[in-house]
Amino acid sequence: MRLTRYFLPVLKENPAEAQIASHRLMLRAGMIRQQAAGIYSWLPLGYRVLRRIEQIVHEEQQRAGHIPLLMPTLQPADLWRESGRYDDYGKEMLRIRDRQDRDLLYGPTNEEMITDIFRAHVGSYKDLPLTLYHIQWKFRDEMRPRFGVMRGREFLMKDGYNFDIDRDAALHAYNRHMVSYLRTYERMGLTAIPMRAASGPIGGDDTHEFLVLAATGESEVFYDDRVTALKLGARAIDYDDRDQVAAVCREFTTLYARTDETHDPAVFETVPEAHRKVGRGIEVGQIFYFSTKYSEPMGAFVTNAAGERVPVHMGSHGIGVSRLVGAIIEASHDDRGIVWPEGVTPFPVGIVNLKQGDGAADAACAGLYAALTARGLEPLYDDRDERAGAKFATMDLIGLPWRITVGPRGLAAGKVELTCRRTGDGEEMSPEAAVDRLAGIYAGH
Ligand code: ATP
Ligand code: MG
């Protein structure tokens, strides 16, 4: 993409309404525009990141054997009357009436609807296990929408639902989700710690939240800091192997890590003092096992191997896709701007032409552009007629992990400079070497 043909409305001034870094930087980098309290348009740069995050979520869910579908944003109130949640949900639910006077609502979550789909089409244990998920916009009329997309009213969520014949099978689905979430967050460059949580309105006793440590997080967290060093890495996971998946879950949930809701000071005291940490975290996901809470009242029964009709065991599992954009920035920025992890960056690399209009510089940039694009690394090429300082400031603000700087002086020696946004370190090399280096860096992403 050439910057002169793109739509990147960066702001020079710090927007007054933004209280935290990610909100400020998303506005300044031209990623979002607020349309109403807690409701945002995703401008092209922000939209690219959102799509990257969605793509990682899709890949990791499907790797775990979970099946994508798409349910609507609007739901009939009658489904929620069946589960008893229509009245319970309160003012967070946006209720709508259509021209036929039918009650609808803008979905805050989809347990009822997925249970309806299941009961209409599945009747036998032979069709289990089954996990269905979608990535869809949700609406919750939050009392205090704030921090930009971190606590929106309209927000994008991945929500998945497992259907299993019994408790053991459902707990395996729970564990599968935990492991797939760990991998999902790691690919985004995040450390998200599973913490035992209280279940709230969704119900059930097994639930973990995934928290990204950040000073601006809304949850207070208590943890053994050795938990932050745990990594899934590139190890192979067989998602059908119950023992292996359970072992990974144990590895990540044995050290103390809890939110204020489940914190137990007496147990916390047993953590060696040097490792005992209190901090704040951003919730980027949550998994639940809730047994037959929805299947019983809504009649989602299957025939088991003995020929009996039994309610199916379910769980639900959510990832805050749009919140993640803010959470990643909270975890990865400096005083000059965003620092995107390679896994989610809107463009893998920026090209800065120090002397637009100079024949050699323009030709070298065009050559780099073509070579990078051919390797699947679409660059953002700053081809504006601007001072070098202004171009660097824009690149630093929008946070592409790598920058190639092209100028007549370097070119005279056959060199361009490849600079790392995170460290600020630059290295001179031939344009071909820069392309090869980047292809190597992105091969794993
Ligand atoms: P919170 O405690 O932050 O209000 P929640 O526990 O009510 O969230 P869940 O029902 O667990 O939310 O939804 C799954 C995920 O969706 C959350 O982990 C979070 O990442 C995201 N999410 C929830 N509410 C919002 C919101 N208002 N804006 C953006 N993302 C949200
Ligand atoms: Mg939650």
pLDDT tens track for 159-181: 999 999 999 999 999 999 999 99
Nearest protein CA to atom 13 of ligand 1, as residue? 318
**pLDDT tens per residue across span 30-75:** 999 999 999 999 999 999 999 999 999 999 999 999 999 999 999 9
| pLDDT value of position 126 | 97
Please state the pTM of the whole predicted model. Answer: 0.97
User: Ligand 1 pocket, 323 CB below 6 A?
Assistant: yes
Q: Is the CB of 155 under 6 A from ligand 1?
A: yes
Ligand 1 contact, 160 CB (< 6 A): no
Q: Where are the domains of the chain?
A: 7-338, 349-442
Residue 319 pLDDT level (bands cut at 50, 70, 90): very high
* Pocket residue to mutate for ligand 1, from 26, 139, 260, 323, most atoms within 8 A of Cβ: 323
pLDDT in tens, 329-370: 999 999 999 999 999 999 999 999 999 999 999 999 999 999
pLDDT of residue 201: 54
- Tell me, in angstroms, the distance from the centre of ligand 2 to residue 280's CA: 15
Nearest protein CA to atom 22 of ligand 1, as residue: 320
pLDDT band at 200 (very low <50, low <70, confident <90, very high): low
Alpha carbon nearest to ligand 1 atom 6, residue: 286
Out of 111, 150, 157, 325, mutate this one to test ligand 1's pocket (max ligand atoms within 8 Å of CB): namely: 157
Of the ligands numbered here, which is closest to the C-alpha atom of 157?
1
Q: Is 337 in the pocket of ligand 1 (CB under 6 A)?
A: no
**pLDDT at position 199 over 90:** no
203 pLDDT higher than 80: no
Tell the residue nearest (CA) to atom 24 of ligand 1: 151
Ligand 1 touching residue 212 (CB < 6 A)? no
CB atoms within 10 A of CB 69: 10
What CA–CA distance (Å, rounded) separates 87 from 81?
8
Q: How confident is the model at residue 445 (pLDDT cuts 50, 70, 90)?
A: confident
Look at residue 444 in the predicted model and tell me its pLDDT: 84
Decide whether any atom of ligand 1 lies within 6 Å of the 402 Cβ.
Answer: no
Angle (deg, nearest 10), helices 359-374 and 431-443: 30
User: Is residue 373 scored above 80 in pLDDT?
Assistant: yes
pLDDT digits (tens, 9 = 90+) for 221-243: 999 999 999 999 999 999 999 99
CB 386 less than 6 A from any atom of ligand 1: no
In this model, does residue 204 exceed pLDDT 90? no
> Which ligand is the nearest neighbour of the Cα of 319?
1
Of the listed ligands, the closest to the CA of 107 is 1
31: Cβ–Cβ under 8 A, 6 or more apart, which residues? 42, 43, 45, 46, 49, 325
Q: Which of 39, 286, 321 to mutate to test the pocket of ligand 1 (most atoms within 8 A of CB)?
A: 286
pLDDT > 70 in the chain, percent: 98
- Give me the pLDDT at residue 197, please: 86
Cα 257 from chain centroid (whole Å): 21
The answer, yes or no, to whether any atom of ligand 1 lies below 6 A from the CB of 208, is no
What is the bridge-based pairing of β-strands 67-68 and 130-139? parallel
> What confidence category does residue 198 fall into, taking pLDDT thresholds of 50, 70 and 90?
confident
CATH code reported for the domain at 349-442: 3.40.50.800
Closest ligand 1 atom to Cα of 159: 14
Architecture of domain 7-338: 2-Layer Sandwich (3.30)
φ, ψ at 355 (rounded to 5°) = -140, 75
**Tell me: the pLDDT tens digits for 101-158?**
999 999 999 999 999 999 999 999 999 999 999 999 999 999 999 999 999 999 999 9
Ligand 1: distance of its center to the CA of 433 in Å?
44
CA of 88 to the centre of ligand 2 (A): 17
CA 285 / ligand 2 centre spacing (Å): 6
Nearest residue to 270 via CA among 306, 220, 235, 224: 224
What is residue 202's predicted lDDT score, i.e. its pLDDT? 52
Atom 18 (ligand 1) nearest CA: 285
- The per-residue pLDDT for 439 is 98
> Measured at the alpha carbon of residue 232, what is the angle toward residues 231 and 233, in degrees to the nearest 5?
90
For atom 15 of ligand 1, the residue with the nearest CA is 320
